[in-house]
Amino acid sequence: MSIPASIPASIPASIPASIPATRRQQIAAGVRDSFSAGLGILPLGVALGLMVVQAGLPWWLAPALSLSAFAGSVELLVVGMAATVTPLGAIALTVLVVNFRHVFYAFSFPLHVVRHPLAKAYAVYAMIDEAYAVNAALPEAERSAPRLLAMQVACEAYWIGGGLAGVALGTALPGPVKGLEFALCALFTALALDAVRSRSELPSVVLAGASVAAALVLTPEAALFTALLLFLALLLARHALAARRNAGRPQEVAGSA
């Protein structure tokens, strides 16, 4: 097949014209990608700052947690545990269990597009739920290191900025704000709904729901950990079946020829 004269020979004809070409365009696209996640991250950061102030903890704990444990859900838990003087061992175990889900993110997060060691280290550090969900919605051909890193930096800026805004707001308010603990649940619900609407990951959503239901019945005291292990096993089984099905197709085509 010949390439039309209107397309430069150095650019493959299979690449869509909508893919950002320059580094600056890729960074701008990454910032735009972060907007949908920022709508949830910013209010959640404000909730964190408010919780820090209402728990009677020092204001600097909000940005300190945002930098040292950039994970969202665990930071809200740590604030409550710190306010009740929970032992460090219990806090460490809770952080491990809650953040254990990030281990499974690494199986499909596109770290291979990031070349520089320091940039790759930051991509691992900033691999939060929202960044994973936003990246999962992008076609493989549109992923690049500048776009990925720009999206992650923007998400962290929303989180830290929201925390500082929450601290300022909590200091100005005369009384406590009820219902802040529901902010995280609302964000995860919105991310799950986005995955359902995309249709492409609907089987994974069904497998995740089945894993959670089984975990709640089998080990209600450790449902999150059990659900993650079950979900991983189901995903591996699904991948093996898909690989076997794809491996059999060339043979069928060759036999029919």
- Tell me how many degrees the CA angle 48-33-42 measures, rounded to the nearest 5: 15
pLDDT of amino acid 3: 41
CA distances from 197 to 137, 200, 201 (A): 11, 8, 9
Evaluate whether 45 touches 161 at the Cβ level (below 8 Å): yes
DSSP state of 22: S
Q: How far, in Å, CA of 192 to CA of 204, rounded?
A: 11
Three-state SS at 230: helix
pLDDT in tens, the chain (257 residues): 444 444 444 444 444 445 567 888 889 988 998 998 888 888 888 888 988 988 888 999 899 988 887 776 778 778 877 888 878 877 787 788 777 777 777 777 888 888 888 988 898 888 888 888 888 878 878 888 889 999 999 999 999 999 999 999 988 887 777 776 676 677 667 767 766 776 666 787 888 889 999 999 998 887 877 887 888 888 888 888 888 887 766 554 445 44
pLDDT of amino acid 167: 93
Q: How far is CA 64 from the centre of its chain?
A: 20
DSSP state of 257: -
pLDDT of amino acid 247: 78
Evaluate whether 184 touches 70 at the Cβ level (below 8 Å): no
